[in-house]
Structure 1
């Protein structure tokens, strides 16, 4: 397999999942600063110009975070990253959809790229503040789900790798998060798979 990724993007979550699974894969960096996601070469692989993008062993390409995470969890059940029953799988998808579609896309996108929503620079701070509010509320809700457990669904899963990329962004922007969510982030940092991902993405 081959993972097309960009450091400190949501593809970090998929990178962690691949490291947890432990199967051979190649990681290919897509340089966003050089706008490589829009290059002819990358668009030939993923016309959406997005990461993560996973090229599977049969040459087929899988895109979109939740789809890749779910496929990896189902394809490598021995890793124990996804429940085998439909209820457990639905709960994992429910959490990932909320984290990606709401906390990431409706929250962090406002913080990172207010210019996407208006060219009026005077409004950018207000847009960023709006995004911070969504993210802060998102962390509060995820903290409620986590409760006193180590992991979101009880057992470690693809949902935890997803929350990790969000908490990484949250710490980088000094966005407040509940104590149990902050402790979760530290717990993730201690995982060997996360340490390997961070080392690979820093190269």
Structure 2
């Protein structure tokens, strides 16, 4: 397997899952800030021009989209116990992943990191960023209010949902420098203690 990733991007969560599984894989960095995602070499891998993308052994094309990659890795490596067996619990895991990747990521962080995608008028960018920061606070407070697990997202224990929540928590605390609600702050600290997460941060050159 080969993971196409960018250091500190949402692909970091998939990188964590690969480290949790412990099977061999390759890393292929994509320089997003230099526009490498739009160049023919990477578009041949993922025409959507984004990370993560996972090249599977023996497959003709890469698997794309965070939830799909996470589901594949958990399902094809059941011994890693990264997805609960119960269908209702599986649905809860996917529910959490979808909220992170479909709501928190684009509306709280893409808006902050790339305000030009949301307004061509540069004078509007501070307002776009402010709205995104308000969204982040609202979204994280909602996750906090509906927290059903103990240390981990699901009562059943650690899962791919934790790797999803981790990357947006990391952005909020480490990149934006804003506080997290208490349960999410505890979750982030627990994630940072996991050996797989420590290896990923070291490999991607990101601060712990």
Smaller-chain TM-score bracket = over 0.9
Aligned to 1:17: 17
TM-score, structure 2 as length reference? 0.93
Aligned to 1:80: 81
Match of 1:185 among 185, 188, 195: 188
On the 8 A contact 1:106/1:131 being kept in 2, the answer is yes
Aligned to 1:53: 53
Does residue 92 (structure 1) correspond to residue 72 (structure 2)? The answer is no
Deviation at 1:147, TM superposition (A): 5.4
Match of 1:167 among 166, 169, 172: 169
On the 8 A contact 1:104/1:166 being kept in 2, the answer is yes
Report the number of matched residues: 203
Deviation at 1:85, TM superposition (A): 2.2
- List alignment gaps of at least 5 residues for structure 2: none
Cα distance between partner residues in 2 of 1:33 and 1:116: 14
Cα distance between partner residues in 2 of 1:83 and 1:144: 22
Aligned to 1:139: 140
Find the residue that maps to 2:162 and give its secondary structure: helix
Does residue 156 (structure 1) correspond to residue 158 (structure 2)? The answer is yes
On the 8 A contact 1:145/1:152 being kept in 2, the answer is no
Find the residue that maps to 2:32 and give its secondary structure: coil
- List alignment gaps of at least 5 residues for structure 1: none
Deviation at 1:176, TM superposition (A): 3.0
Deviation at 1:146, TM superposition (A): 2.9
Does residue 64 (structure 1) correspond to residue 65 (structure 2)? The answer is yes
Cα distance between partner residues in 1 of 2:20 and 2:149: 23
